Structure 1
Amino acid sequence: MPGPSSASRSSAETAVLVTQVVDEIARRLMPDTVLPPDDGADTAGETRRRALQRLQVLAGVKQALRRLEDQAAHVAAASGAGYPEIGQALNMSRQGARRRWPGLITSSTCHRTPQPTPRSL
């Protein structure tokens, strides 16, 4: 996708762009429905039904985003990131990240600084 890199965007700008994209996705995922007659009959019922369908679609989008966050957190941990970095990326505390992904950071995912080997004389 052309445009400025995400590193040059603020969190607020990113949020606006993501909101626009998710809104478009939700509109496209809404089931096609027959529009009610144009006589104004039951517009409140139709509005309620459409709003509930939109909520259902957005709940699915939210689940997909959580799965993508989970995948990214696992890749970050496997690449040596710790809970403080993962939490910071999600604008949450280290403890929040640890509660969300308990056991994500283990001794096998931590990349420790190699210690110099002692030389024998």
Structure 2
Amino acid sequence: MPGPPFPSRPPGGETAALVTQVVDELARRLAGQSVTAPEGPPDTADDARHYALVRLRVLAGVKQAVRNLEDQAAYAAAASGAGYPEIGRAVSMSRQGARRRWPGLVTSSTHHPAPHRPTPRSP
């Protein structure tokens, strides 16, 4: 039996805004820790460029980490009986998109569709 329905998008984008704020703060802190003081007189344009590139590298790492967590959640959902349509809806993509993203994720041993009830025959 499928679990309770969940909203396909957080109400008002509150979750996305909160995650953006937290990730931005994390990226700024990690970039600040990675940037060492330049030798010689500081050049503000070079310092700004260097900091922006370090922050970009940190954000690329965050994106990869989120993708890995998303993969783990998709595997857990499939292991719990979710099919490609449900997994696709959870990440705002089609069933086909989910199948392309995670090929072979849902197999007959992981997907437990609702039992088929035969339709009554006419006499």
TM-score, with normalisation over the residues of structure 1? 0.78
What SS does the corresponding residue of 1:108 show, helix, strand or coil? coil
Letter of the 1:46 partner, please give it.
D
**RMSD of Structure 2 on Structure 1 (CA):** 2.6
Partner of 1:33: 36
Matched with 1:61 is 62
Aligned pairs for 1:101-116 (under 5 A) are 101-113=102-114
Percent of aligned positions that are identical:
66
Number of aligned residues: 109
Equivalence map 1:39-78=2 (5 Å): 42-78=43-79
Q: RCO greater where, 1 or 2, for CA within 8 Å and sep 6 or more?
A: 2
Query: After superposition, where does 1:14-29 map in structure 2 within 5 Å?
Result: 14-29=15-30
What's 2:83 paired with?
A: 82
Task: Could you tell me which runs of 5 or more consecutive residues in structure 1 were left unpaired when the two chains were aligned.
Answer: 1-5, 117-121
Taking the aligned partners of 1:43 and 1:53, their CA distance within structure 2 comes to 15
Q: For 2:78 and 2:101, locate their aligned partners in 1 and report how far apart those are by CA, in whole Å.
A: 13
Change (3 A) 1:25 1:67: same
Shift of 1:16: 0.2
Question: Normalising by the residue count of structure 2, what TM-score does the alignment of the two structures yield?
Answer: 0.77
